[in-house]
Chain A
Amino acid sequence: MDNYNPANLLLLLVILFNFFLLGSSRLGACIRTVAIQGGILSLLPLFLHGFTGHALILAGGAFLLKGLAIPFLLLRAIRQVHIKREMEPLLGYVPTLLLGTLATAGAFIFSDRLPLIEAHRGSLFIPVGLATLATGFLMLITRRKAITQALGYLIFENGVFIFGMLLAEAMPLMVEAGVLLDLLVAVFVMGIVMHQINREFSTMNTGQLSSLRE
């Protein structure tokens, strides 16, 4: 495996951002990090498949949505509801980080054992994709605020995107476009929901949604 392949370096950066996301409590920084992560991912199709029309459209679409549109929406959402940081995660930051690292280590070990085709063997795409999925899951599980859960969902989608890269030639453009559109709609809905939660309960903690009241 050649380690100096630019795609591999980008994937390593993605992992470092995963760690940062699990350890940081500042929402603004988290959203920007997810934006940068998305931007980096959008470069991957170009490195993997060259400057073909398919890859260009995929990269452009991903960059516009993941790097610009969705972060912009989320940043606007936290400005509207005036929150700056995740206050009390269900699990502390250090334990989450530990779990994240364990999951990453697991992803690396596990992907070595998968029956992959020869071309994908030893590439960083699969372990990094799995690790990013795990990071997204962890964010979804351990955080209380609706917005960090939306972020977890985005990271999760980034993981799926990394997996999709390997299949980009086989996968029709429509599928990827559909996923991205779904994502955008989901974030839209999340933004509206967050606004409503905030107005009704004057808090964004999803834990309070489970208690009924008149």
Chain B
Amino acid sequence: MLELFLHLLLLFGLSPLLPGVIGKTKALFAGRVGPPFLQSYYDIWKLLGKGLVISRTTTWVFRAGPVLGLAVPVLAALLVPFGAIGAPLSFAGDLIFFVYLFGLSRFFTAAAALDTGSSFEGMGAAREVTFSCLAEPTVFFCFIVLARLSGSLSLDAMFGQALNAGWQSAGPSLVLVLACLFVVVLVENCRIPFDDPNTHLELTMIHEVMVLDHSGPDFGMILYGAAMKLFVLGALVVRLVFPGATENVLLDTLLFSGSMLLLAVVIGVVESTMARLRLLRVPQLLVGTMLLSFFSLILLLR
């Protein structure tokens, strides 16, 4: 029970801090002061207090998008261990559940975008769906590698103690898995070099264009959900890098929170040093990542 409470506390409390840290890192690189660390909390709070404008052409699907966008990361978070704090919910095969939970929220976000009837949003939905269907095999190959290493089909065990032994016996393929998962984190959360969360140029937007028509509390939910998604997927990467566990719960929590912030800094550095890829190059890079994850599987199996 305590574990569940701690899990949700970390998720709800800490996740909006990550975009703040990324923003601060980017500002530091650009020589600006940048928005405060807590800016995302202010934004979400402000949006939740605002009124809601809904187009008359939309249906219930339009409202369902943000709700699922918020609910899915919370559910998915329950399957993922946060550092050494084990997952509250875990069963054999939950890795497939995990991937398709995000598939569900993506479907509803895209459907909500299409529901507005704007061709512009339809374009964004098409791009989002294309890229994520290329990212999905990568996730599965990475999970298969981890499942093989741990001999288990639940995320809690795959990202559990077996990782320590895994780094000893199959270091190179875990390095590849780490790189692939990091790319997946960037793609799924619409970060540079795949998508620029700040751009509002119609030719380049992907995720941002799908949520243009949402306002007020709905948009607040989308922002909160996006922050949580970054947190959940980031937790996988962080766990892969720091597989150890101390016996102390407090220490584990601190270690996990610190490493999540470190991940946010790394993402900020990547965003500051790289340019956004041309749209045509993105699928190419994603296929490359997929092949890399496939190669890591070969390396493990031989």
Contact = CB atoms under 8 A, between A and B. Distances in A.
Given A23-B284, A94-B283, A3 B298 contact: no
Task: Determine the main DSSP class of B at the interface with A.
Answer: helix
B157 to A, nearest CB: 22
Interface in A87-120: 93-94, 97-98, 100-101, 104-105, 108-109, 112
B171 interface: yes
A112 B302 contact: yes
Contacts of B169: 3
A97 B169 CA distance: 28
B171 A3 contact: yes
A15 interface: yes
Interface residues of A, number: 21
Contacts of A19: 288, 291-292, 295
Contact of A105 (B171, B172, B283, B298): B298
Contacts of A109: 302
Contacts of A15: 295
A71 B77 CA distance: 50
Interface string B274-302: 00000000011001100110110011001
Interface of B: 169-172, 283-284, 287-288, 291-292, 294-295, 298-299, 302
A22 to B, nearest CB: 9
Contacts of A100: 291
A3 B170 contact: yes
A104 B299 CA distance: 10
A101 B294 contact: yes
A15 B25 CA distance: 33
Contacts of B295: 15, 19, 101, 104-105
